Structures are given as structure tokens and as C-alpha cells.
């Protein structure tokens, strides 16, 4: 594929002068065309042949490629941009989000109190009896204690009021915590005699060892695996397909499974090889602490039936908004049950981190590392420095995922060590107020997802949605990166705001580079794939405060329209596409999750 791209590029230049008397399959014209190509940032028209771009430029020049069989697609004043490349998400787990009870707070849902949460779960239980019977559990996704009136997690007893004869399990929006009712705790085997687990916490009722229902990190994932033990392997296939369908509604033509299991990869490969394979490309990164032999065997820069293993994933800590990220200083105002010197905790030991990074460098395997707190990033930087000293620093494009609480000196080290930062500016909208008031305080909250520091050092970065932590809402990603407005309307770190074109590059050409796919994707240039998105408005021509109102009208993969906003959804999602939006392994959930941090 790379050879083909380079060969074609040698025949076609950024101008539209044809080398061959080619006739385009499709011409796009009549709207703003934003190319992400610095040598030709805007164009009037674009021509495509056999799924690849053959010309970009003025309408008069590009129309020279028109022939009797050429289809002309009029943009009617809308905007055409490259397809979005998912810098970090969990496409398989997005299917779980799409099929669970929606417990998200506004604007993505209606749950702003424990009473509202109970109401939504009761309504879900009455409307989706067949789904509940299939898994013998009621699953909810997306509650956020920072947005509940009570400013706390629900208890097991509050979930018992909905039903006490069936497991009820609700997953926090971060994906790193959950609440189980009494029956779910029983199914999970968690009692007052259960000892604490490394890399997680079982919260207890005051003055006792009785679990109160809230589970953090490791015990959460173990419990989820057991509660959802009845769903069969077909459920795995349905969820992965549902996730891939959902991300296309937001303009993603390349998706990521950013912490895959071996079973997930095998399921994706099986789906991809079938008659009804994937419409978009999916790149997976299996857990480096679980199955290195599988990673080394499967890793490839080339897609097979639109699926490939891109490298490995390492997770060092947890959720910043959930107080499980590992910091270098105490949290600003942690929950009452935590001591004043609480700094979170690691998900992996220093020995595990050093060993994993060294293995990846020794085998030239790209490594994506989840690190949110300062202490976690210090450990990552030390491990990368040691691996570099031993193996050199070739073009491995190791990626730092999230980096919510980065210090400025750490950004200097990230540049020196050639780490690629994939940042999470959506936090400024969803949890900016929470970070300011509770996790890190007003001063350090301004520097979450520090895009300004990165740009000041001449570095590229990507931005991501981390779905199902948030919806894979591309326009919310764009809006948050440009405006950094919180739910309350505050600006979280004005010095880190970027212009619209920079924010779009962080969703297109820069994540394409992150994935070693910049020769094929990320910009509109001759020889590249015709992966395209039609937006309802030109993002560079409207008030930046209205970026989140832009809609994805069409998603186009290699010149084939795979999503239209004006057509009914073809998946069984509970929430409609472009509306800010479960089911895991008897055999299935073992395919989907390992009892470790997936997000």
C-alpha cells in the first residue's frame, strides 16, 4: 500500500495537471474544501479515481478530469475535510455504551441527581426486558458523581430500590469506576471478607468492611466480567459492529481499539473476513501486560480486511476525574473518605512499566501509554529514557495517551524523548469545573491537556474522545480544543486555546502520522485515500463558540458514502447519531475485557 501511494504520488503533483488523460469517478465541488495540506490549505474542487484522490485545486482545473461517467457531487456550500482519524478510543466498548441505559448528565443525557438516575434505570428496565433477560442484569453507563446534585456516587441500597432480585451495575462516565447493587456484588463474589486488590479499591460503608457498592479500577473490571457472564460470543460481534457504526456517524473513517484483548482482535478479524465486513479501518493495540507473543505475531503496518494490530498498550494509572490518577502531590479537594495526603495510585508497578517499555523498544513495536497523573508520567519518562539509552530512539512513535496533569518540565522531556502526545481537551468541557474545584485546583486546572505548551515547543499532537468515556463526538472534540469552555462557560486555560485549523490537524493529519499512515490519510492530496467528511458548515468561517453546533452530514470512505445524516440509522443504537450519546462475556466478556484498565 505504501509503495502504491509513493508511486502514484510520483505521477501526480499538488497541481492538477494530469499525467494521464484520466477520467475521475467522482468530482466534489461547490463548497469549502479544507485540505490540511500547508502547501495548499484550501481548494475549490477535488477529483477521485478508484478510491484515491487524483486532483485538488481550482474548479476549472479539476473539472478537466470530468468525463461521461464522472459523478459530480455538489457540496451546496457545505465543507469537505479529510476523514477523522481516531487518535485514541475504544471502538469495541463504544458498542457497550450504545446498548446500555443512558446515565449521562446534560447535555448528553438527563441524569443530574440520584433520583433522576433511578428514574432512568426504572424506565430502561420496563422498556428493554428482552435485553435484560439476555444478560440477566441491568446495565447503565455514564453517571458522573461530579455532575450529580448530591456530589457523590449512588450506593448499593439506592440501586436495590429499582430491583433487588437481579444484578444492577452502573459504570461511571470515566469507565474506571462503577456501582453495583447488592445482587451484583453477590454475583461478583465481593463481600466484607474480600481483601483489597492491587490497582483498585472496594469502597466500604463507614465504620465497617461491608462494601457500599462503589468499585474502583481492578475490582470494578473483575465484577463487570462476572455480572455480564451470560452474554454469548455473538454479543461480542454485535457490540464491535455497533461501535464501528456509531463512530462513522461522527466522521471517523479510521477507528482505534486503544486497549484490545486477544479475543477482541480475533473477533474483529473474524468480522472483517465475513461477507459484511467493516466499512472503516480499525487499528488495535492489545495490552502489553497480557499477551506479548500475540502482539509480536500480529503487529503490522498493513490492513487485512480493514483491521490491523498497530502495536501495544500500557496503562500506568487511572482516571483524573475519578481520583484514581497517580499524582506527584495530593489532590486539591478529594472525597471525604480519602486522607488529605492522598495522591491516587498506580495501575502497574515500576518493574512492569520498565519491562514493558524496554520490550517494545527492543522489538520496534509502537507503544501507547495511558498516563494521567504527574507521578505516572514521571515513571513513563524514566522508562522511555532507559529504553532509549539501551536501544536508541528510532522512529517508533511511542505515544503518551491523555497526560491530563502534565507539568511543563514533563513536556520538555516528552519532546526530548520524541514521545508523541495524544491529549484530551474534551476534559475542559466535561470536567474542567471539577478539576478546578476538586481534583487539582484553579491554578493547575488551567493547564490540563496543555496544547499551548506543546505548540510553543514546535510539537505536533493529536486529540481524542476516548469513547466510551465520552461520545465519539468529533465536533465536541473540535470545540473543546479551540474554546476550552467548561460546562459552566468558564475558559479552562485560555493560553492553551488553539485556532480551528490547528485543532482540525490534531484530528486528521497529525493522528494519521501518529498511526504511521500519513502517506495515505489525514489530508486531501493526490495519491491519498478519498476518506472524506462533509460538514454542515465551514469550521473556519463561523464563530468558534458555535463549533459544537456543526453536524456531520456525510462520512465517505475511499469515495463510498458510508453514513448520511438524512438516512435512518441501520444499527440498534438507543441514541441517534450526532445526538451526544452494553453488553459484554460469558464467553463474550472474556473476549472483550481483561480485569485491568481498558480506557
Same domain, 127 and 214: yes
Q: Which of 549, 459, 450 is nearest to 505 (CA)?
A: 459
Taking the C-alpha atoms of residue 253 and residue 272, their distance in angstroms, rounded to an integer, is: 15
Q: Which residues lie closer than 8 Å to 462 by C-beta, 6 or more apart?
A: 85, 87, 88, 420, 421, 422, 423, 506, 507, 510, 511, 514
Same domain, 44 and 71: yes
Alpha-carbon separation of residue 543 from 499, 500, 546, 549 (angstroms): 12, 10, 6, 10
% of residues, the chain, pLDDT over 90: 75
CATH number of the structural domain spanning residue 172? 3.10.310.70
CA angle 510, 312, 241 (to 5 degrees): 80
Side-chain-side CA neighbours of residue 451 (13 Å): 30
* pLDDT score of 232: 64
Residue 280 lies in a domain: no
**pLDDT of 238-282, one tens digit each?**
888 889 999 999 999 999 999 998 988 999 999 999 888 999 999
Sign of torsion over alpha carbons 220, 176, 356, 522: positive
Dihedral angle computed from the Cα positions of residues 505, 506, 508 and 513, in that order, rounded to the nearest 10 degrees: 100
Taking the C-alpha atoms of residue 329 and residue 319, their distance in angstroms, rounded to an integer, is: 15
* pLDDT, average across residues 388-404: 95
Strand runs labelled E in 289-414? 307-309, 312-315, 367-371, 399-402
Same domain, 20 and 138: no
Pair type for strands 552-557 and 84-85: unpaired
Same domain, 214 and 121: yes
Strand runs labelled E in 144-210? 168-172, 177-180, 200-204
Residue 475 lies in a domain: no
Q: Would the pLDDT of 558 be above 60?
A: yes
Q: Would the pLDDT of 435 be above 80?
A: yes
**pLDDT of 47-106, one tens digit each?**
999 999 999 999 999 999 999 999 999 999 999 999 999 999 999 888 777 678 999 898
Residue 469: which H helix or E strand, with range?
none
* pLDDT score of 568: 58
Q: Would the pLDDT of 125 be above 70?
A: yes
Same domain, 217 and 102: yes
Which of helix, strand or coil describes residue 99?
helix
Same domain, 105 and 218: yes
- Phi, psi at 298, each rounded to 5°: -95, -20
Residue 249 lies in a domain: no
Last residue of a domain, one of 157, 192, 227: 227
Residue 572: which H helix or E strand, with range?
none
Residue 62 lies in a domain: yes
Query: Is the full-model pTM beyond 0.75?
Result: yes
Residue 384 lies in a domain: no
Taking the C-alpha atoms of residue 539 and residue 505, their distance in angstroms, rounded to an integer, is: 12
Taking the C-alpha atoms of residue 45 and residue 271, their distance in angstroms, rounded to an integer, is: 36
- 524 close to 33: Cβ distance less than 8 angstroms: yes
For residues 599 and 502, the model is more confident at: 502
Residue 442 lies in a domain: no
Q: Would the pLDDT of 443 be above 80?
A: yes
**pLDDT of 476-525, one tens digit each?**
999 999 999 999 999 999 999 999 999 999 999 999 999 999 999 999 99
**pLDDT of 149-207, one tens digit each?**
999 999 999 999 999 999 999 998 877 889 999 999 999 999 999 998 888 899 999 88
Same domain, 107 and 222: yes
* pLDDT score of 12: 42
Q: Would the pLDDT of 5 be above 80?
A: no
Last residue of a domain, one of 202, 227, 252: 227
For residues 406-415, b (16+ Cβ closer than 10 Å) or e, as one string? Answer: bbeebbebbe
Length of the chain: 599
* pLDDT score of 576: 33
Pair type for strands 560-564 and 552-557: antiparallel
Range of the domain at 106: 91-227
Which of helix, strand or coil describes residue 171?
strand
* pLDDT score of 591: 33
Residue 335 lies in a domain: no
Q: Would the pLDDT of 583 be above 80?
A: no
Secondary structure letter of residue 146 according to DSSP: G
Number of domains in the chain: 2
Same domain, 57 and 96: no
Cell of 475: 465536533
Same domain, 132 and 213: yes
Same domain, 65 and 114: no
Q: Which residues lie closer than 8 Å to 204 by C-beta, 6 or more apart?
A: 192, 210, 211, 212
Residue 397 buriedness (CB in 10 A; 0-12 / 13-18 / 19+): middle
Using pLDDT thresholds of 50, 70 and 90, give the confidence band for residue 19: very low
Q: Would the pLDDT of 473 be above 90?
A: yes
Last residue of a domain, one of 211, 227, 243: 227
**pLDDT of 340-385, one tens digit each?**
899 999 999 999 999 999 999 999 999 999 999 999 999 999 999 9
Same domain, 59 and 154: no
DSSP 49-108: ETTEEEEEE-HHHHGGG--TTPEEEE-TT-EEEEPEE-SS-BHHHHHHHHHSEE-PPTTT
CATH number of the structural domain spanning residue 49? 2.30.40.10
* pLDDT score of 21: 55
Residue 33 lies in a domain: yes
- Phi, psi at 472, each rounded to 5°: -75, 50
Same domain, 107 and 196: yes
Q: What is the mean pLDDT of the chain?
A: 89
* pLDDT score of 596: 35
Using pLDDT thresholds of 50, 70 and 90, give the confidence band for residue 543: very high
Amino acid at each position: 500500500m505504501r509503495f502504491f501511494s509513493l508511486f502514484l504520488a510520483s505521477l501526480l503533483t499538488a497541481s492538477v495537471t494530469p499525467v494521464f488523460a484520466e477520467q475521475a469517478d467522482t468530482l466534489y465541488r461547490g463548497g469549502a474544501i479544507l485540505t490540511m495540506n500547508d502547501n495548499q490549505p484550501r481548494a475549490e474542487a477535488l477529483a477521485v479515481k478508484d478510491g484515491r484522490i487524483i486532483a485538488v485545486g481550482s474548479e476549472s482545473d479539476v473539472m478537466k478530469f470530468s468525463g461521461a461517467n464522472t459523478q459530480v457531487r455538489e457540496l451546496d456550500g457545505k465543507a469537505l475535510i479529510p476523514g477523522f482519524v481516531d487518535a485514541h478510543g475504544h471502538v469495541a466498548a463504544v458498542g457497550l455504551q450504545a446498548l446500555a441505559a443512558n446515565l449521562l448528565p446534560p447535555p448528553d443525557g438527563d441524569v443530574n441527581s440520584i433520583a433522576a438516575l433511578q428514574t432512568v434505570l426504572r424506565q430502561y428496565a420496563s422498556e428493554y426486558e428482552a435485553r435484560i433477560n439476555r444478560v440477566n442484569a441491568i446495565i447503565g453507563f455514564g453517571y458522573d458523581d461530579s455532575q450529580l446534585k448530591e456530589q457523590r456516587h449512588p450506593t448499593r441500597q439506592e440501586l436495590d430500590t429499582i430491583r433487588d432480585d437481579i444484578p444492577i451495575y452502573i459504570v461511571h462516565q470515566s469507565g474506571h469506576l462503577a456501582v453495583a447493587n447488592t445482587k451484583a456484588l453477590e454475583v461478583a463474589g465481593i463481600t466484607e471478607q474480600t481483601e483489597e486488590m492491587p490497582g483498585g479499591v472496594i469502597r466500604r460503608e463507614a465504620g465497617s468492611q461491608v462494601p457500599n457498592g462503589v468499585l474502583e479500577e481492578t475490582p470494578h473490571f473483575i465484577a463487570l466480567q462476572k455480572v455480564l457472564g451470560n452474554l454469548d460470543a455473538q454479543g461480542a460481534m454485535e457490540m464491535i459492529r455497533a461501535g464501528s457504526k456509531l463512530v462513522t456517524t461522527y466522521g471517523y473513517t479510521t477507528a482505534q481499539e486503544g486497549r484490545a484483548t486477544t479475543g477482541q482482535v480475533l473477533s474483529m478479524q473474524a468480522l472483517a473476513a465475513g461477507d459484511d465486513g467493516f466499512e472503516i479501518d480499525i487499528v488495535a493495540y492489545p495490552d502489553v501486560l497480557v499477551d506479548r507473543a500475540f502482539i509480536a505475531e500480529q503487529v503490522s503496518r498493513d490492513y487485512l480486511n480493514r483491521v490491523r494490530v498497530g502495536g501495544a498498550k500500557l496503562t500506568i494509572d487511572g482516571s483524573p476525574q475519578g481520583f484514581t490518577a497517580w499524582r506527584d502531590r495530593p489532590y486539591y479537594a478529594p472525597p471525604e473518605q480519602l486522607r488529605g495526603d492522598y495522591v491516587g495510585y498506580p495501575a502497574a508497578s515500576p518493574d512492569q512499566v520498565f519491562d514493558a517499555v524496554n520490550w517494545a523498544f527492543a522489538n520496534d513495536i509502537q507503544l501507547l501509554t495511558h498516563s494521567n497523573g504527574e507521578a505516572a508520567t514521571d515513571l513513563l519518562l524514566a522508562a522511555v529514557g532507559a529504553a532509549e539509552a539501551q536501544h536508541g530512539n528510532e522512529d517508533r512513535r511511542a505515544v503518551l495517551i491523555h497526560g491530563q496533569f502534565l507539568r511543563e518540565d514533563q513536556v520538555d522531556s516528552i519532546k526530548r524523548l520524541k514521545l508523541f502526545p495524544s491529549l484530551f481537551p474534551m476534559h475542559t468541557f466535561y470536567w474542567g469545573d471539577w478539576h478546578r474545584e476538586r481534583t487539582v485546583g484553579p491554578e493547575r486546572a488551567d493547564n490540563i491537556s496543555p496544547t499551548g505548551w506543546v505548540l510553543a515547543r514546535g510539537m505536533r499532537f493529536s486529540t481524542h474522545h476516548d469513547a466510551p468515556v465520552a461520545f465519539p463526538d468529533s465536533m465536541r472534540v473540535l470545540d473543546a480544543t479551540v474554546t476550552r469552555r467548561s460546562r459552566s462557560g468558564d475558559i479552562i486555560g485560555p493560553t492553551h486555546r488553539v485556532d480551528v485549523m490547528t485543532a482540525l490537524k490534531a484530528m486528521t493529519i497529525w493522528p494519521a502520522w501518529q498511526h504511521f499512515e500519513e502517506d495515505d490519510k489525514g489530508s486531501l492530496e493526490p495519491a491519498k485515500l478519498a476518506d472524506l467528511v462533509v460538514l454542515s458548515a465551514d469550521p473556519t468561517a463561523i464563530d468558534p463558540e458555535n463549533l459544537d453546533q456543526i453536524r456531520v452530514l456525510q462520512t465517505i470512505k475511499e469515495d463510498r458514502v458510508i453514513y448520511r445524516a438524512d438516512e435512518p440509522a441501520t444499527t440498534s443504537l438507543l441514541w441517534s447519531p450526532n445526538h451526544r450519546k452494553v453488553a459484554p462475556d460469558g464467553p463474550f466478556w472474556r473476549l472483550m475485557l481483561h480485569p485491568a484498565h481498558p480506557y
